[in-house]
């Protein structure tokens, strides 16, 4: 009896989780989005960013997301530009915003913007698991996205990375005010000192 209840609960959990997943844009837009990423990757691999340990880890994650078909383009992200979706029985899926112009027509973000969102979500994907995000992880993710975006545009990112004119940490503290601080956070492929220097993040108390 207990086994039947457990199986029923598992099926219900899968059904609920499926119901809440954002709807994917049509198949040709999925293929078009992945083609943009494949066209951008060689430029990123050859860039200064792509030659760092951090760049290599993030690019490898994007390649694995592509290979495993874990990137989905959706116009139903409720104002978000990207989302990484956790389900307990499989690795994270990364959702990227696509604009819906009308019933049939969709538009991808500009390639460098798409890359920014993708690398932000790839960082969350590397961190994986079911844990809630933290101020540190968001700073790390925005820094990853901005450095990848600069590499896509062939420009050098500024020493202090900024969003809407504000240092990343200031933007994150204002936008994710409910997120906890994580004093033992380890950035992907870099030190916490690097993350503080590049985002203006102050030490967690």
Interacting residue ranges for Zn ion, rule: CB under 5 A: 141
Least Cβ distance, residue 106 to Zn ion (angstroms): 23
Q: Which residue of the chain is nearest Zn ion when measured via CB?
A: 141
**Closest approach of Zn ion to the CB of residue 11, in Å:** 31
Least Å distance, CB 180 to Zn ion, is 14
Please say which residue, 62 or 141, places its beta carbon nearer to Zn ion.
141
Comparing CB distances to Zn ion, the nearer of 141 and 161 is 141
Handedness of CA 187, 190, 194, 200 (dihedral sign): negative
Least distance between Zn ion and beta carbon 123 (Å): 8
DSSP track, 129-168: SSPPP-HHHHHHHHHHHHHHHHHHHT-PPPSS-EETTEEH
Class of residue 158 by CB neighbours under 10 A (exposed 0-12, middle 13-18, buried 19+):
exposed
Select 59 or 141, whichever has its Cβ closest to Zn ion.
Answer: 141
Beta bridge partners of 162: 167
Cβ proximity to Zn ion: between 43 and 181 the closer is 181
Tokens of 158: 């500024």
């Amino acid at each position: 009896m207990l086994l039947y209840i457990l199986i029923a609960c598992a099926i219900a959990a899968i059904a609920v989780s499926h119901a809440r997943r954002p709807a994917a844009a049509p198949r040709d837009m999925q293929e078009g989005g992945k083609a943009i990423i494949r066209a951008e990757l060689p430029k990123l691999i050859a860039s200064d960013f792509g030659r760092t340990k951090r760049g290599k880890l993030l690019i490898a994650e994007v390649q694995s997301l592509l290979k495993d078909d874990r990137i989905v383009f959706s116009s139903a992200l409720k104002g978000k530009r990207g989302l990484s979706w956790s389900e307990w029985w499989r690795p994270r899926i990364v959702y990227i915003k696509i604009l819906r112009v009308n019933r049939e027509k969709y538009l991808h973000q500009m390639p460098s913007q798409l890359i920014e969102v993708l690398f932000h979500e790839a960082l969350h994907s590397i961190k994986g698991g079911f844990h809630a995000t933290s101020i540190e992880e968001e700073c790390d993710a925005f820094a990853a996205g901005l450095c990848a975006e600069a590499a896509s545009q062939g420009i050098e990112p500024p020493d202090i990375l900024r969003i809407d004119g504000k240092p990343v940490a200031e933007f994150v503290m204002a936008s994710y005010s409910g997120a906890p601080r994580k004093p033992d956070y380890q950035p992907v492929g870099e030190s916490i000192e690097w993350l503080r220097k590049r985002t203006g993040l102050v030490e967690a108390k």
